[in-house]
């Protein structure tokens, strides 16, 4: 059998580099050897290389999206105890975690409930699952984002800042209630909501349902308009459960042989 000359091999490496096919560049020698010994048809050899390049591209893209998303670590759907939150259907969450039915139309997801009930965990876990399916997600504490947007507005770059957020299919705003304090803070938030309306999705976690917002927000008309847009196409989960941390601590104190966590929901004073 004829083998490629060293010069051909060197030239091929340069060409594959120019073509931006780093995976093919790395794996072709071992594939070629296998193809030669096993007598693969040329088409099979070529498609095996192309497949590898594509798979590696997907993997790198997801890795990049993961780094950009700034998700809190370790919060996955696998480690989320759905039985602790009976009002949330696992099947529905799994459908949401696929993304197709809602992210394409810019629908929203709202998670309400008292502290410790698993809102941030569930939000981050959904975000992670969506990234793994190829979507782009940004997780941020609402206060952090609001602060950045306020600075942008001061510098007259709010529009550009909002446009930059457009590349994320889903924006996760964790802990919304804490920012609903003064006019300037809420107004950038409402501009963000308006800018994404029916185009790009938002996932919000909040301790207080929207009914309570009117009490803390200075401009009720503006609030009404923003809330209206948020809930227009939204799935809402009311996670009215006792703090998971607290229950876990209670379970530890009770020791082994006691009922599982979820059986203790009503025992706390």
- Contact between 237 and 125 under an 8 Å Cβ cutoff? The reply is no
The residue within the footprint of ligand ADP, chosen from 25, 93, 103, 117 (CB under 6 A), is 117
Q: How far apart are CA 148 and CA 161, in angstroms?
A: 9
Of these, 85, 177, 202, 226, which contacts ligand ADP (CB under 6 A)? Answer: 85
Binding span for ligand ADP by CB under 6 A among 7-15, 48-56, 112-120, 225-233 = 112-120
Q: Of residues 120, 140, 186, 223, which one binds ligand ADP by CB under 6 A?
A: 120
Binding residues with Mg ion: total (CB under 5 A) = 1
Positions 200 through 239 that interact with ligand ADP (CB under 6 A)? 205
- Residue 147 CB contacts under 8 Å (≥ 6 apart), including other chains: none
Of the pair 169, 175, the CB lying nearest ligand ADP is at 175
Minimal distance in Å, beta carbon 91 to ligand ADP?
16
- 22 contact choice in Mg ion, ligand ADP, none (CB below 5 to 8 Å, kind-dependent): none
Hey, which bits of 49-126 come out as E strands?
Answer: 108-112
Specify the stretch interacting with ligand ADP by CB under 6 A; choose among 7-15, 51-59, 114-122, 250-258. Answer: 114-122
Q: From 43-51, 78-86, 96-104, 182-190, give the range in contact with ligand ADP by CB under 6 A.
A: 78-86
* 50: number of Cβ within 10 Å: 13
227 vs 3: CA distance, rounded Å: 69
When CB distances to ligand ADP are compared, the closest residue is: 118
Ordered DSSP codes for 211-258: GGHHHH-S-HHHHHHHHHHHHHTEEEEE-----HHHHHHHHHHH-TTS
Compute the Cα dihedral for 204, 208, 214, 218 and give only its sign: negative
Q: How many other CB atoms sit within 10 Å of the CB of residue 184?
A: 13
Write the DSSP string, 168-185: -SEEEEE--GGGTTSHHH
Shortest Å distance, C-beta 109 to ligand ADP = 14
Nearer to Mg ion, 207 or 261 (CB): 207
Q: With CB under 6 A, what is the number of residues at the site for ligand ADP?
A: 17
Instruction: Give the one entry of ligand ADP, Mg ion, none that residue 118 binds, where binding means its C-beta sits below a cut-off of 5 to 8 angstroms depending on kind.
Output: ligand ADP
Count the residues in the chain.
Answer: 269
Strand partners, 236: 110
Query: Site residues for Mg ion, window 96-135 (CB under 5 A)?
Result: 120
Q: Does 113 bind ligand ADP (CB under 6 A)?
A: yes
Which residues form the interface with Mg ion (CB under 5 A)? Answer: 120
Which residues form the interface with ligand ADP (CB under 6 A)? Answer: 75, 79-81, 84-85, 113, 115-121, 205, 244-245
């Amino acid at each position: 059998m004829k083998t490629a000359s060293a010069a051909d091999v060197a030239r091929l490496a340069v060409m594959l580099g120019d073509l931006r096919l780093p995976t093919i560049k790395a794996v072709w020698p071992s594939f070629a050897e296998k193809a030669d010994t096993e007598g693969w048809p040329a088409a099979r050899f070529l498609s095996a290389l192309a497949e590898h390049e594509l798979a590696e591209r997907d993997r790198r893209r997801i890795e990049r999206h993961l780094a950009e998303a700034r998700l809190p670590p370790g919060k996955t759907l696998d480690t989320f105890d759905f039985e602790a939150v009976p009002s949330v259907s696992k099947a529905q969450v799994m459908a949401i975690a696929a993304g197709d039915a809602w992210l394409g139309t810019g629908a929203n997801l709202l998670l309400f409930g008292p502290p410790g009930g698993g809102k941030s965990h569930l939000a981050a876990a959904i975000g992670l699952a969506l990234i793994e399916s190829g979507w782009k997600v940004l997780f941020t504490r609402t206060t952090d984002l609001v602060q950045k947007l306020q600075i942008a507005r001061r510098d007259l770059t709010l529009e550009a800042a909002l446009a930059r957020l457009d590349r994320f299919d889903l924006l996760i705003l964790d802990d919304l209630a804490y920012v609903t304090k003064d006019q300037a803070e809420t107004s950038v938030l409402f501009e963000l909501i308006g800018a994404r309306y029916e185009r790009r999705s938002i996932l919000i976690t909040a301790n207080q349902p929207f009914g309570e917002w009117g009490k803390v927000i200075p401009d009720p008309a503006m609030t009404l308009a923003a809330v209206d847009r948020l809930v227009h196409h939204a799935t809402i989960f009311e996670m009215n459960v006792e703090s998971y941390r607290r229950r876990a601590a209670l379970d530890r104190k009770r020791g082994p042989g006691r009922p599982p966590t979820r059986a203790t929901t009503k025992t706390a004073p």
